[in-house]
Amino acid sequence: MEKIIRYLGEQVKVGCDDKCNKAWGINSRPKMKLSVHDEDDIVWLSDTDIKKDAPEDPHTYEGGDGKPSTDDEKPNKWCVRECERCAFANKDGKLTLPDYSKKVYNQPQKHGEK
């Protein structure tokens, strides 16, 4: 899904992979700590590592919006502020979505990732 929305007073393109059943929210997505010395050195687990679907209501809200339950609700504030599967286009208009078919590192440079 790609849409142009108004965000912080600007027109921006946002998109997602439409896999809401796999969307936990960035603060709730299962992850592993990789360092005892750096609390920000984490890896979010891949969809295949997580054996179950995300909850329909992860009990996180943004501006009163929760995780959408229908296509008509997308994208809402929860999507653009909380959903780990949502991304903004860069200045060139190119939209690169996160790929949760594999683990996603918070500090990829420490783990041989780009």
pLDDT tens per residue across span 21-33: 999 999 999 999 9
Q: Is 23 part of a structural domain of the chain?
A: yes
CB 25 within 8 A of CB 60: yes
Q: Which domain holds residue 74?
A: 1-107
What's the pLDDT at 87?
Answer: 95
Token pair recorded at residue 59: 């009990």
* Cα distance between residue 2 and residue 88, in whole Å: 10
Given the structure tokens 């609700």, which residue do they identify? 73
Q: Is 88 part of a structural domain of the chain?
A: yes
Q: Is 114 part of a structural domain of the chain?
A: no
Token pair recorded at residue 8: 């912080």
Quick one: what percent of the chain has pLDDT higher than 90? Answer: 82
Domain total of the chain: 1
Q: Is 113 part of a structural domain of the chain?
A: no
Report mean pLDDT in 10-residue bins for the chain, 114 residues: 88 93 96 95 97 95 93 93 94 91 93 76
Residue 47 C-beta-side C-alpha neighbours within 13 Å: 13
Q: Is 22 part of a structural domain of the chain?
A: yes
Q: Is 70 part of a structural domain of the chain?
A: yes
CB 58 within 8 A of CB 71: no
